[in-house]
Amino acid sequence: MPTDLDDIFASVAREADLIPLSTAAQARKRGRQRTRNGIIATAAAVCVVLAGVGVAAGQGQRRADKTVAPTPSPSVTATTPTAVGPLPPVGKPITYGRTLDETHPTIVKDRIYDAWKVGEQIAVVAADLRTGEVIWRIQGFSTGPELGAFVSATEDAVLVGNGGGSNWVLDPADGSQMWTYTSSHLGEELVHERVFVQRNDRTGQVDAHDLRTGRKLWSIAPSSDMVDQILGMRVYGQELPGSPLTDDRLVVVRRSGQVQVRDIVSGDVKRTTTPVSPPNGGPEGKVAYEGKFYDGGPGCCDTEPYRVVVTDLTTGASKKIFIGKLGHTVGSMTVCGANRVCLVDEVSDTEAWLRAVDANTGQVIWSVPGPVGGSSLVAYDVELLLGGDGVTRLIDGNGREVFRTTTQAEVEWLDGGRVLVMPPTTGGEVQIVNTTYGTVTRLGLLPARAGTCAHTPDRLVCPTTKDVRVFQLRE
Amino acid sequence: MTTTEDFDDFYRDTSRRLARYAYGLTGDPGDAQDLVQEAYARAWQRWRRLADYEDREAWLRLVVNRLSADRWRRIGVRRARTAAEPPPPPVPPPSENTVLLIRAMRSLPMVHRRALALHYLLDRSVAEIAHETGASVGTVKSWLSRGRAGLAAALGETPALATNGADDAN
């Protein structure tokens, strides 16, 4: 082979130039699909983050480095022997006044919010979760053919976006506009109960604003050691999707791997540390929970195995608690109990293991076979919803499978101890699974829906192409 | 010129360079195909705003950097693409030189890998790499120097054989 790097790279470049590429038209088509699907992925990611940090202390169910065989479990299937009636509605459907492809309502406390496109504008509605009655309805906010209409909220602010960078912050009382902001393309945004924080992906600049007024509270200026990621600190009790950040600690990760803890309101630096194996790569596998920073991902380079590093942000101490074998990759990872990390260890294209690891000692508590070729992992306390291979499994704190479904159902945590199983978007039966016993309660039929549903322990809010409907979840 | 024509022109002018870059980072023709397609799909989502960007190609490379950061993300990209459209035509396997080089590249930290790909595959100067990455010229020189040394070690060469004078570039 040539001994000069110029020659070798030139050879690589020539090969690259022969790679067949898709067309620009195909890229545009894919871009439009991404716009339509983006809010679904975002909502799912939020659920993973929020539910993934549900941790309770005092779970004394650990076993030393034990491989647990899967046990038979009840299956949830699409067909059931006895017919059930419609899911009981709450109030009247909230109409859009037009036919839509999809919307994605959200719930905050006792409020429902939904947004949709009306030509080149966005309509937003607020309704009472208990009664389904509309509280206010407004229209405005510029959007476009390639853009969308998205809404998220806290108790004190409603955030509306068009997916193209323009965002409006509204007063939940009457929908009046309080302030506006612009999103960066690949940047991050965190919504704290009092503060809105965003990071610009190009410059690394971080700006914190008062959530109600938009007043700038503090900033981190661009630097050569730019900020690569910001994480809100999750604490026990924030398991349910939709709960905003309440802890005042913001974790800032710089490109060098340095990790800072700042007061999210004042911006004051409370701790600066560089973990033993500094974080690198993307945001996947990073969690800030109860004063600790969990980083599971590749080492410095491809010749190093992946590792999980836990940093105590109070003391600055850090250690590698788990090192994968060379050639393995870490799939999904989440905090899954007091000082416990659960991860999918991908051995090869045909073998993967779900492992629970003690975050203090690094000891593998248990391992069970996991899905290959990709997985999802959502924890609530020590229990896990594990997706992959076309199967969703509920795994208990000892690694035993409590139930599984192989249908196209959407499975989400309802609360601690209960899982909500929703039918495919074409409609079907809604069920609740008791996670202790794996028992299934059939609640009723849900019509076809156009987008993601939102729920609380006793309400389900789902969009159709013409309206958004509220249902009771009653066992 | 319409928005679509503007995007298509940009795609035609830049996609080959992005493919080189993606191939240099991943060493896998299929991954490079997927990453290029995904990067442009994301660009089309934000095309109006990208029009204001000083260097839209750099933005594309940032997307590729992130997507190529680990195997997990690349699987996600490939799944999304597979679900959306038929796969692009198959590509011949990489040559021995490429296999050896990519294997050596994978032993390097990502910042060194990026700097080498920008310099050798896209002919970017040290100053241009510094501008794109936000690092100082000295830092980029260090990345390239250490990257070359790492490659030389991995390829069983001496560093002296593997330089091309980039340290003197600006």
Tell me the C-alpha distance between A151 and B59, whole Å: 27
Q: Are strands A66-67 and A364-369 parallel, antiparallel or unpaired?
A: parallel
pLDDT reported for residue A93: 96
Tell me the C-alpha distance between A127 and A114, whole Å: 9
CA A164-A165-A167 angle, to 5 degrees, is: 115
**Domains parsed from chain B with CATH numbers:** 1-93 (1.10.1740), 94-170 (1.10.10.10)
Scanning the structure block, which residue is given the tokens 């195997």? B71
Give B23-60 pLDDT, tens digit per residue. Answer: 888 888 888 888 898 899 888 888 877 777 778 888 88
Coil, helix or strand at residue B32: helix
Which tokens is A319 given?
A: 């250690």
CB distance B41–A300 less than 8 Å? no
pLDDT, average across residues B72-88? 50
- A&B contacts, CB < 8 Å: 193
Does residue B106 or residue A427 have the better pLDDT?
A427
From chain A, the residues in CB contact with B49 under 8 A are 164-165, 185
CB distance A35–B45 less than 8 Å? yes
- Going by C-beta distance under 8 Å and a sequence separation of 6 or more, which residues neighbour residue B32? A16, A19, B19, B22, B23, B26
Q: Return the residue of B nearest to A25 by Cα.
A: B8
Q: Return the residue of A nearest to B27 by Cα.
A: A12
Confidence of residue A474 (pLDDT cuts 50, 70, 90): confident
Give A66-101 pLDDT, tens digit per residue. Answer: 444 444 455 544 444 466 899 999 999 999 999 988
CB distance B69–A17 less than 8 Å? no
Scanning the structure block, which residue is given the tokens 């090869």? A348
Coil, helix or strand at residue B17: helix
CB distance A31–B108 less than 8 Å? no
Res A21 pLDDT > 80: yes
- Going by C-beta distance under 8 Å and a sequence separation of 6 or more, which residues neighbour residue A61? A382, A397, A398
Question: By the CB < 8 Å criterion, does B6 face chain A?
Answer: no
Question: By the CB < 8 Å criterion, does B57 face chain A?
Answer: no
Q: Are strands A391-395 and A401-405 parallel, antiparallel or unpaired?
A: antiparallel
Give A358-381 pLDDT, tens digit per residue. Answer: 999 999 999 999 988 677 888 888
Q: Which of A1, A5, A20 sits opposite B89 (nearest CB)?
A: A20
What is the value of pTM for the model shown?
0.70
Question: What does the DSSP assignment read for A321-356?
Answer: EEEPPTT-EEEEEEE-STTEEEEEEEEETTEEEEEE
Looking at residue A19, its amino acid is I
User: In this structure, are residues A303 and A318 in contact, taking their beta carbons and an 8 Å threshold?
Assistant: no
CB distance A22–B24 less than 8 Å? no
CB distance B106–A280 less than 8 Å? no
Percent of chain A residues past pLDDT 90, beyond the cut: 49
C-alpha A414: how far from chain center: 15
Res B170 pLDDT > 50: no
> What stretches of A20-149 adopt beta strand conformation (E)?
66-67, 75-76, 89-95, 106-108, 111-118, 121-128, 134-142
Question: By the CB < 8 Å criterion, does A298 face chain B?
Answer: yes
Give the H/E segment covering residue B20: helix B3-26
Confidence of residue A299 (pLDDT cuts 50, 70, 90): confident
- Mean pLDDT, chain A, rounded, equals 84
Tell me the C-alpha distance between B161 and A235, whole Å: 54
Give B115-131 pLDDT, tens digit per residue. Answer: 999 999 999 999 888 88
Give the H/E segment covering residue B38: helix B29-45
Which tokens is B3 given?
A: 């928005």
Q: Which of B23, B45, B162 sits opposite A16 (nearest CB)?
A: B23
Question: By the CB < 8 Å criterion, does B46 face chain A?
Answer: yes
pLDDT, average across residues A240-263? 86
Residue of A22, A32, A33, A150 for testing the chain B interface, max B β-carbons within 10 Å: A22
User: In this structure, are residues A47 and A241 in contact, taking their beta carbons and an 8 Å threshold?
Assistant: yes
Tell me the C-alpha distance between A265 and A276, whole Å: 29
Give the H/E segment covering residue A33: helix A24-52
Give the H/E segment covering residue A295: strand A292-297
Q: Which of B69, B76, B88 sits opposite A21 (nearest CB)?
A: B88
Coil, helix or strand at residue A366: strand
Confidence of residue A202 (pLDDT cuts 50, 70, 90): confident
Q: Which of residues 31-90 of A touch B (CB under 8 A)?
A: 31-35, 38
Looking at residue A162, its amino acid is N
User: In this structure, are residues A30 and A23 in contact, taking their beta carbons and an 8 Å threshold?
Assistant: no
Res B74 pLDDT > 70: no
Question: By the CB < 8 Å criterion, does B26 face chain A?
Answer: no
Does residue A336 or residue A241 have the better pLDDT?
A336
Alpha-carbon radius of gyration of chain A: 23
Question: What does the DSSP assignment read for A255-270?
Answer: TTS-EEEEETTT--EE
From chain A, the residues in CB contact with B72 under 8 A are 284, 329-331, 374
CA dihedral A437, A71, A366, A390 (to 10 degrees): -90
Question: By the CB < 8 Å criterion, does A302 face chain B?
Answer: yes
Confidence of residue A40 (pLDDT cuts 50, 70, 90): very low
* CB under 8 A, 24+ apart: contacts of A4-11: A4/B161, A4/B162, A4/B164, A5/B120, A5/B148, A5/B151, A5/B162, A5/B163, A5/B164, A6/B120, A6/B164, A8/B97, A8/B100, A8/B101, A9/B24, A9/B101, A9/B116, A9/B120, A9/B121, A11/B95, A11/B97, A11/B98
* A457–chain B nearest CA distance, Å: 31
Relative orientation angle of helices B29-45 and B71-84, to the nearest 10 degrees: 70
Confidence of residue B66 (pLDDT cuts 50, 70, 90): confident
CB distance B75–A374 less than 8 Å? yes
Q: Return the residue of B nearest to A226 by Cα.
A: B134
Confidence of residue B169 (pLDDT cuts 50, 70, 90): very low
Question: By the CB < 8 Å criterion, does A201 face chain B?
Answer: yes
pLDDT reported for residue A364: 94
Give A91-144 pLDDT, tens digit per residue. Answer: 999 999 999 888 889 999 899 999 999 988 999 999 999 999 999 999 999 887
CB distance A15–B71 less than 8 Å? no
**Whether ipTM exceeds 0.95:** no
Q: Which of A4, A203, A301 sits opposite B107 (nearest CB)?
A: A301
User: In this structure, are residues A158 and A138 in contact, taking their beta carbons and an 8 Å threshold?
Assistant: no
* CB under 8 A, 24+ apart: contacts of A258-263: A258/A225, A259/A293, A259/A311, A259/A313, A261/A313
CB distance B139–A330 less than 8 Å? no
Q: Return the residue of A nearest to B120 by Cα.
A: A9
Looking at residue B82, its amino acid is T
Which tokens is A423 given?
A: 């039918």
Confidence of residue A34 (pLDDT cuts 50, 70, 90): low
Q: Which of residues 110-149 of B touch A (CB under 8 A)?
A: 110, 113, 116, 120-121, 134-136, 139, 148
CB distance B121–A281 less than 8 Å? no
CA dihedral B1, B6, B12, B15 (to 10 degrees): 170
- Going by C-beta distance under 8 Å and a sequence separation of 6 or more, which residues neighbour residue A380? A51, A54, A239, A413, A415, A416
Residue of A7, A12, A224, A332 for testing the chain B interface, max B β-carbons within 10 Å: A12
Coil, helix or strand at residue B104: helix
User: In this structure, are residues A445 and A82 in contact, taking their beta carbons and an 8 Å threshold?
Assistant: no
Res A146 pLDDT > 90: no
